Amino acid sequence: MTMAVNLSPLTTFYPVNGIKIGTVCAQIKQTQHDDLTLFVIAENSTCAAVFTRNAFCAAPVIIARQHLFASAPRALLINSGNANAGTGQQGLQNARTCCDTVAKLLNCASTQVLPFSTGVIGQSLPVDKICGVVATALATANTENWENAAQAIMTTDTIPKAVSIQKIIADELITITGIAKGSGMIKPDMATMLSFIATDVQISQSLLQICLERAVNVSFNRITVDSDTSTNDACVLVATGKSGLHIDSVDHPAFADFCQAVTQVCTQLAQAIIRDGEGATKFITITVEQGSSEQECIDVAYTIAHSPLVKTAFFASDANWGRILAAVGRAPVDNLVIEAIKINLDDVCIVEQGGVAASYTEEQGRRIMQQNEITIRVNLGRGTQHATVWTCDFSYDYVKINAEYRT
């Protein structure tokens, strides 16, 4: 089994004042590891979130979206091992029942609990197992439990994914800590499979939502493992207001710096998902520049990233540059001038003037393709816009993992 590409577990977690986390094994799909996580959020916190746009979105996505706009959340309840997706009205009721159980323990409204699930689609959520251990999760909740939470939300991930930073903004020390899970069924249309981020900044829900959407659009919305958008994608950003930094408008001098810090955390988490893509052996950055619009740059980048022929060539370390050229040519972009396009693998120009670069040699291509981190750079020569997408290769293990996922 392959392991994550140049990714190690985080060793330093900065607690976020106002956030406590408890984890427990509810034995949802296995009995060896914690699979239920409870975030307890301080009163007067604000919360922003983005969710999958998959039409068959999971029951917890529907309920979490409803609850988010009903009242300020006091808890996040996350289970792995069961997606509670494709489960109809019973799935919705099961998600509500779990929220009710947490709400009674916290003495808050059920709408102040946001549920999240990840795992197998189409199976009934084991409500009794979950509700039976929620009190234990609450009893173990503390500010230091981020590492355990990162592990408890994993499914096919080989390594827990977390980022934790502290920065001085406007003379105030702030903390941002986040975790994510995701390895396959990754082509987000809002965020990643699941990500939970918290900060101690004081900021309104509307401003926090603006910040999260900006960050997601250039991070979680720019990754793909296999072009499959999950039914359960969600990304949550909680702000407890426990630091000395208070941001009250988009014009506040600290707002841009805060957004940049959130984007940094989201980008590192998004890249961690690609580094741990199911069966991944290569981490691939695709940058498309000099496009006439950002969207056409994104379209070209994703066409390359989604090509099974390109991805399998990278797995084989085969400098089959024709597959990249073909992907660029079939991207949904009108009136490409192929003579103006240049394609590089890292520092090696492979395509220019409509064909193989005069300076290119097969030896150069093999040298780049043997690396485990590679950049494809496409210059469209038709404008000033640019975009970057991150992806990985396709290996034998990807097929094996997904062929055996339910067994």
């900065």: which residue's tokens? Answer: 14
- The model's pLDDT over 19-46, given as tens digits with 9 standing for 90+, comes to 999 999 999 998 999 999 999 999 999 9
Residue 405, pLDDT > 70, answer no
Structural domains in the chain?
Answer: 19-275 (3.60.70.12), 283-403 (3.10.20.340)
Contacts of 110 (CB under 8 A, 6+ apart): 67, 96, 99, 100, 103
- The model's pLDDT over 251-302, given as tens digits with 9 standing for 90+, comes to 999 999 999 999 999 999 999 999 998 889 999 999 999 999 999 999 999 9
Question: pTM of the entire structure?
Answer: 0.94
Answer for the pair 80, 156: CB distance below 8 angstroms, yes or no.
no
Per DSSP, the residues of 110-141 read: GGGEEEEEEEETTS---HHHHHHHHHHHHHT-
Report how far residue 35's alpha carbon sits from residue 48's, in angstroms, rounded to the nearest whole number: 24
Element at 51 (helix H, strand E) = strand 46-51
Report how far residue 362's alpha carbon sits from residue 71's, in angstroms, rounded to the nearest whole number: 60
Report how far residue 73's alpha carbon sits from residue 44's, in angstroms, rounded to the nearest whole number: 9
Answer for the pair 121, 83: CB distance below 8 angstroms, yes or no.
yes
Ranges of beta strands (E only) in 217-369 are 234-239, 246-247, 283-291, 342-345, 348-352, 355-356
- Residue 234, CA atoms < 13 Å, CB-side half-sphere: 28
| Residue from 87, 156, 192, 303 carrying the catalytic annotation | 192
Residue 1, pLDDT > 80, answer no
Q: Is residue 31 flagged as an active site residue?
A: no
* pLDDT reported for residue 297: 98
Ranges of beta strands (E only) in 228-280 are 234-239, 246-247
- The model's pLDDT over 190-244, given as tens digits with 9 standing for 90+, comes to 555 799 999 999 999 999 999 999 999 999 999 998 787 788 889 999 999 999 9
Residue 86, pLDDT > 70, answer yes
Residue 155, pLDDT > 70, answer yes
pLDDT, average across residues 176-194: 79
Q: Binning pLDDT at 50, 70 and 90, where does residue 54 land? A: confident
pLDDT, average across residues 1-8: 81
Report how far residue 33's alpha carbon sits from residue 15's, in angstroms, rounded to the nearest whole number: 23
Lowest model confidence (mean pLDDT) among 2-16, 133-147, 370-384: 2-16
- Residue 158, CA atoms < 13 Å, CB-side half-sphere: 20
Q: What is the dihedral of CA 125, 126, 128, 134, to 10 degrees?
A: -80
* pLDDT reported for residue 220: 93
* pLDDT reported for residue 190: 58
* pLDDT reported for residue 407: 62
Answer for the pair 105, 141: CB distance below 8 angstroms, yes or no.
no
* pLDDT reported for residue 288: 98
Q: Binning pLDDT at 50, 70 and 90, where does residue 365 land? A: very high
Report how far residue 330's alpha carbon sits from residue 10's, in angstroms, rounded to the nearest whole number: 40
């604000």: which residue's tokens? Answer: 46
